[in-house]
Amino acid sequence: MKRTLILSAAFFGFAIASQAQSTNTDNVTLNVKLNPIQTLIINQSQKEVNLEYTTVAQYANGVSSSQADHLKIYSTGGFQVKVKSSGSELTTSKTGPAGNINASTIQIVPTAGTKAVNNAQYTISPLSADEKIIVSATTGGVDKSVNIEYKGAGADAYVNHYVAGQNPTKYTTTVTYTIIAQ
């Protein structure tokens, strides 16, 4: 009986050891969770843009200021860049005879920068207090750049906006760029 008991115990121990060997692995679920990230940075040396009218030809034809690589973009997928002004008018400390300057007389002209956004669509837009889409892309990118040209009106649109005693008369607005996932 002792011998049977020892054999039974040995067999039982072997069965447990066999079972333990078959359960020494397990699984884990690995998830890669990608959250949307969009960043837009304005070139630090281009935080102030001036459209200056100093000649008869400039009042007649308009002026522009081209800002190379003005916007730097990082996006984890398709995106849109929108632009808006802080109001519907550019204002000054002392309003001229013709009032303030309508923001829509300024055109925002986006083009591909030195590190162009792949398959991007660029749309010229008048400046407005309402957001306007100026860049749209179906794919993301890292450190992509967009040139922006600011174009002021010609056709003597601002000829009556000069205020006597100010040299020069300066009208101002804040331009805000926003990037969103698409």
What is the reported pLDDT for 95? 73
Which residues form the domain of 49? 38-181
User: What local confidence, expressed as pLDDT, does residue 23 receive?
Assistant: 75
User: Which segments of the chain have a pLDDT < 70?
Assistant: 1-21, 96
Q: What is the pLDDT of residue 165?
A: 87
Q: What pLDDT, on a 0 to 100 scale, did the predictor assign at position 18?
A: 53
Domain holding 120: CATH number? Answer: 2.60.40
Whether residue 7 lies inside any domain: the answer is no
Q: What is the dihedral of CA 100, 101, 104, 105, to 10 degrees?
A: 160
pLDDT at site 8: 52
Does residue 128 form part of some domain? yes
Residue 4 lies in a domain: no
What pLDDT, on the 0 to 100 scale, is given for residue 169? 93
Task: Kindly state whether residue 29 falls inside one of the protein's structural domains.
Answer: no
Cα angle: 53, vertex 57, 62; to 5 degrees? 55
For strand 64-75 and strand 107-112, is the pairing parallel, antiparallel, or unpaired?
Answer: unpaired
Q: Is 95 domain-assigned?
A: yes
Q: Whole-prediction pTM value? A: 0.83
CA separation for the pair 127, 152 (Å, rounded): 10
Total domains present in the chain: 1
In a domain, 64, yes or no: yes
| b/e code 34-66 from CB counts within 10 Å (16+ = b) | eeeebebebeeeeeeeebebeeeebbeebbeee
42 part of a folded domain: yes
What pLDDT was estimated at residue 2? Answer: 54
* Residue 14 included in any domain: no
What is the model's pLDDT at position 5?
46
* CA–CA distances in Å: residue 104 to residues 2, 173, 178: 103, 12, 18
